[in-house]
């Protein structure tokens, strides 16, 4: 029973609580999180770690008047629970259900959409400047994790915010984890801070002692405070943030409600930018998550008693296939190196990291740096493979063009989570990469139809003398084989089925759907060809032109935006070969962000499943045949 929690529909319902009541509420929230997320899946560890932090924030500040901005946002479940959305948690991350991230369309308490890392301080500073320009009075609080703080954008914002006297509170939720273990100099610096005494208490004690010196005490405090070797240089554990222009408070125990409330109330009264360092434990209160925080970052439904997943699968994912292939290729080629941006487990590179630690580089949440770092390795004679999720690769667009493709450097981009990802929603769907990559000079873009083709493409790519990208989806790797299985030849696809009525040109994961469509069409007496394009750029122009001469209607299939994507490449080919009169229809997503839901649900909703495509092809084909018959 969550008797106290059941009475909470907004933060005002617990602002009169004493500390003991807040502690009871904290436990009830943890119990609810465990029960709920064990049934739906979701981001568990990070939310268990911020229960007291979130309650203290809502206790001390007045949302939505005061603006709480959650970096990434996967740790905002507690925030959602206490702002009236507890009863929606049975729909968490489901189609038309509660989002796993802050969403302005969902609640007035979600003041800024998040999903990617390192954005909260920039957004917070923007809110603060807007407040000052409008001569309004409210607090702005950006909550960022130590993993997100490794992102360069966070430091750009800190540098900008520290230059003035704008009132902005930045709270570092330091749980020593992002998704995988944090890396780099900043992580080491924060580790050292965790062992430091609380600066405020020491600083106050020293100032009180100096002030007691007759006659010169107050002036001595001012002088020493300004001096290069002053109090802060002797005592401040957060000197980095002080040098950036922030007043540093901490480290604070993120599970000690009285300490949190005291510091937040104090920060609320302070002038200028304030940086509060809060230490939390990821997975707090649930032993399996505390012991193995990576395993409970994003998790499916699980047994609450044991922590074991309810649904287990032995099928290899594309990430698994990629990781194993990298190890095999690394054994043959000592110049092969692997780079990830804080996602060794997610991208499947943990085995490569263990096998070849000196050739594995986790650069932290720093996609821009990862790409240019890879460019440097390539220029230095090595063969870098950069494994990044499709939605995160967006962040390194300039580096792909300027540092890799402009110099025609042999960098391999292994683009995981391409197409529909599912429950993480709009911010994580990988439906833009074909559009933002396929027009870049010198860059080759490929997509495999199944696991064996991924192995072949990766082998091909690591021996290719130029920039090349391979994109593949999340989840189980297709094992479906066809009678035709030709070797990879640059710029060429493979014909899987030959028909005379309809020509279907598919790329990547959509080849399997295309195969189902071909079989469906046979039932209606429509003979269809299916061409596995393999290459988006350069596209197999000759084969497409040949298909245009042999079929009544052409269709393209892609799990990307049609605008600028694969379908547009097919259309460009038809125009180039003066065949634009040939009836052609591209299947894909049209000028929209795709919400959360299971991949199957989303493909059906947007009519990209095999049955929906079959129905549309039949309708359009019959219309064309009717016009021909009547003409």
Annotation marks residue 207 as catalytic = no
The whole-angstrom separation of Cα 270 and Cα 139 is 11
- Orientation of helix 217-226 relative to helix 199-211, angle to 10°: 140
330-337 own/partner pairs: CB under 8 Å, 24+ apart? 330/355, 330/356, 330/359, 333/383, 333/462, 334/359, 335/381, 335/382, 335/383, 336/382, 336/383, 336/385, 336/462, 337/361, 337/377, 337/382, 337/383, 337/384, 337/385
Annotation marks residue 367 as catalytic = yes
Cis? peptide before 538, omega within 30° of 0? yes
272 backbone φψ class: left, alpha, beta (φ>0; ψ -120 to 50): left
Sort 570 into a burial class: Cβ within 10 Å, 0-12 / 13-18 / 19+. buried
Contact 515, 530 (CB under 8 A): yes
| 332 contact partners, CB below 8 Å, separation of at least 6 | none
Smallest CA-to-CA distance from 597 within 476, 428, 471 is with 428
| H-helix or E-strand spanning residue 503 | strand 502-506
Contact 518, 534 (CB under 8 A): no
Any idea which residue has 């309809």 for tokens?
502
Contact 296, 304 (CB under 8 A): no
Any idea which residue has 């002080």 for tokens?
242
Smallest CA-to-CA distance from 154 within 239, 71, 50 is with 71
In the chain, how long is the greatest CA-to-CA distance? 107
The whole-angstrom separation of Cα 246 and Cα 158 is 8
Of 345, 367, 453, 494, catalytic: 367
The whole-angstrom separation of Cα 368 and Cα 415 is 15
Of 282, 417, 471, 515, catalytic: 282
Smallest CA-to-CA distance from 389 within 423, 431, 355 is with 431
Annotation marks residue 605 as catalytic = no
The whole-angstrom separation of Cα 554 and Cα 562 is 15
The whole-angstrom separation of Cα 618 and Cα 552 is 12
- Orientation of helix 19-40 relative to helix 257-269, angle to 10°: 100
The whole-angstrom separation of Cα 11 and Cα 225 is 39
Of 30, 131, 395, 474, catalytic: 395
How distant, in Å, are the alpha carbons of 377, 405, 595 from that of 411? 9, 9, 32
Sort 204 into a burial class: Cβ within 10 Å, 0-12 / 13-18 / 19+. exposed
The whole-angstrom separation of Cα 227 and Cα 333 is 56
How distant, in Å, are the alpha carbons of 174, 355, 367, 468 from that of 323? 30, 11, 19, 18
The whole-angstrom separation of Cα 20 and Cα 10 is 19
Contact 78, 42 (CB under 8 A): no
**Which residues form the catalytic set?**
282, 367, 395
């Amino acid at each position: 029973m969550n008797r106290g929690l059941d009475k909470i529909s907004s933060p005002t319902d617990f602002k009169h609580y004493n500390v003991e009541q807040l502690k009871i509420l904290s436990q009830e929230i943890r119990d609810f999180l465990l029960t709920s997320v064990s049934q739906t899946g979701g981001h568990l560890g990070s939310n268990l770690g911020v229960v007291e932090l979130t309650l203290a924030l809502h206790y001390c500040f007045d949302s939505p008047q005061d603006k709480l901005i959650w970096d990434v946002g996967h740790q905002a479940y507690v925030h959602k629970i206490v702002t009236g959305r507890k009863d929606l948690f049975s729909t968490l991350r489901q189609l038309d259900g509660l989002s796993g991230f802050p969403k302005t369309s969902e609640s007035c308490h979600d003041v800024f959409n998040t999903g990617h890392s390192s954005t909260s301080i920039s957004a917070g500073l923007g809110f603060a400047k807007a407040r000052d320009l409008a001569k309004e009075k409210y607090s702005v609080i950006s909550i960022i994790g130590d993993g997100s703080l490794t992102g360069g954008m966070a430091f750009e914002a800190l540098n900008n915010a520290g230059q003035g006297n704008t009132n902005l509170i930045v709270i570092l939720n330091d749980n020593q984890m992002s998704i995988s273990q944090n890396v780099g100099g900043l992580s080491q610096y924060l580790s050292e801070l965790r062992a430091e005494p609380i600066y405020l208490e020491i600083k106050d004690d020293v100032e009180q002692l100096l002030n007691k010196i007759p006659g010169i005490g107050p002036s001595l405090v001012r002088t020493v405070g300004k001096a290069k070797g002053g109090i802060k240089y002797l005592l401040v554990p957060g000197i980095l943030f002080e040098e950036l222009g922030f007043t540093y408070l901490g480290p604070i125990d993120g599970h000690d409600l009285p300490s949190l409330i005291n510091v937040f109330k104090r920060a609320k009264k302070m002038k200028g930018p304030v940086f509060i360092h809060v230490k939390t434990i990821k997975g707090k209160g649930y032993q399996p998550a505390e012991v193995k925080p990576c395993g409970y970052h994003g998790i499916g439904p699980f047994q609450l008693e044991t922590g074991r997943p309810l649904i287990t699968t032995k099928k290899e994912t594309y990430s698994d296939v990629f990781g194993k292939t990298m190890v095999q290729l690394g054994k043959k080629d000592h110049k092969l190196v692997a780079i990830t941006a804080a996602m060794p487990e997610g991208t499947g590179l943990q085995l490569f990291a263990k096998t070849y630690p000196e050739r594995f580089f986790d650069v932290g949440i720093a996609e821009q740096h990862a790409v240019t770092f890879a460019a440097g390795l390539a220029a230095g004679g090595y063969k870098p493979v950069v494994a990044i999720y499709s939605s995160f690769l967006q962040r390194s667009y300039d580096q792909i063009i300027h540092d890799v493709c402009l110099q025609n450097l042999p960098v391999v981009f292994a683009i995981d989570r391409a197409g529909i990802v599912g429950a993480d929603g709009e911010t994580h769907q990988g439906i833009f990469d074909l559009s933002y990559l396929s027009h870049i000079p010198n860059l080759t873009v490929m997509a495999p139809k199944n696991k064996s083709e991924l192995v072949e493409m990766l082998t091909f790519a690591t021996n290719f003398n130029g920039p090349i990208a391979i994109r593949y989806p999340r989840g189980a790797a297709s094992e479906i084989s066809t009678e035709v299985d030709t070797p990879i030849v640059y710029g060429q696809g493979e014909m899987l089925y030959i028909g005379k009525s309809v020509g279907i040109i598919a790329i990547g994961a959509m080849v399997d759907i295309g195969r189902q469509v071909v079989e469906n069409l046979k039932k209606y007496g429509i003979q269809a060809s299916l061409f596995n394009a393999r290459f988006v750029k350069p596209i197999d122009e000759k084969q497409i032109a040949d298909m245009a001469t042999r079929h009544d209607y052409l269709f393209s299939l892609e799990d990307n935006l049609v605008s600028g994507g694969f379908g547009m490449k097919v259309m460009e080919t038809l125009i180039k070969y003066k065949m634009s009169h040939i009836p052609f229809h591209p299947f894909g997503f049209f000028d929209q962000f795709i919400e959360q839901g299971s991949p199957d649900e989303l493909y059906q909703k947007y009519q990209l499943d095999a049955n929906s495509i079959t129905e549309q092809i039949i309708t359009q084909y019959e219309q064309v045949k009717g016009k021909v018959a009547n003409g």
